[in-house]
Amino acid sequence: MPKFIGYKDALEETEGKKRNLLLGNGFSIACDPRFEYESLFKKANFKEHSSLQNVFENLKTCNFEEVIRELHKTSTHLRVMSAYRNSEKLKKSAEEISSDIRNAKLILLNVIKDTHPDKQTALTEDQYKSSRRFLKNFIGHSLVSHTSNVDINKEILITDTSVLINFLNIKRLDLLIKYPGKFLITEHVIEEITIDFPGQQALLNSAISDGLLLADPIQIRVEIQLFF
């Protein structure tokens, strides 16, 4: 079992050492309660996915990640059962669940996109200072130490779609230039933006071409463990 320690203890143990930082929706939640799962769930559009909404209600949760995990496990279980019973009904149910896994991810991405502020001025002074104070602990460190095509001696911050889409929405990817390092995105992020946010595709491609973002595939096991 991995050892989990508090943030303060982690800073103390890594003083003078290289630190790794992976930003996801948790960073947004800490910055603004609008990104908490309960708030996102209330805004989510389940109009065409009533069965998926029922799953949330039956599990008594608003946590999208928890629901997606349970759907994955159920789908796998049904596929295993269908191998023994050769049941088309079980296979069909597994396919329906797999479809709802994709729907849940898409609904979550859309509601996060709609929740993100469309102007940088929407960030209060306290939120800005708090975010800066948190990130300051990682400036001067190598933020990602396992990539296949990137110099690991440079400062690199790996980011996912939920963070990147905020900069795309306000058309201010240029703000990344002010950071003394590079931002890395994986092919999974590029695929999500291409499929779910096609209106932002041109900005994303331009940022990659201009070197504002580094695009790198996840290939080896240690990279997959770091990302997930």
pLDDT above 90 covers a percentage of the chain that reads 18
This prediction's pTM: 0.55
Give residue 170's Cα distance to chain centre: 18
CB 215 within 8 A of CB 190: yes
Per-residue pLDDT for 111 more than 80?
yes
- Which CA distances in Å does 177 have to 117, 211, 212? 21, 9, 7
Q: Which residue has the higher pLDDT, 182 or 50?
A: 50
With residue 23 as reference, give the H or E element that holds it. strand 22-23
Residue 138: its pLDDT value, please?
Answer: 76
Give the integer Cα–Cα distance in Å for 163 and 98.
26
Q: Which residue has the higher pLDDT, 90 or 123?
A: 90
pLDDT mean over 70-89: 87
What does pLDDT average to over the chain? 77
Residue 56: its pLDDT value, please?
Answer: 95
Per-residue pLDDT for 54 more than 80?
yes
Instruction: Give the pLDDT band (50/70/90) at residue 14.
Output: confident
- Which CA distances in Å does 162 have to 8, 153, 228? 25, 26, 14
* Phi, psi (deg, nearest 5) at residue 153: -85, -10
Give the integer Cα–Cα distance in Å for 55 and 108.
15
Sequence ranges of the domains in the chain = 7-21+138-227, 38-115
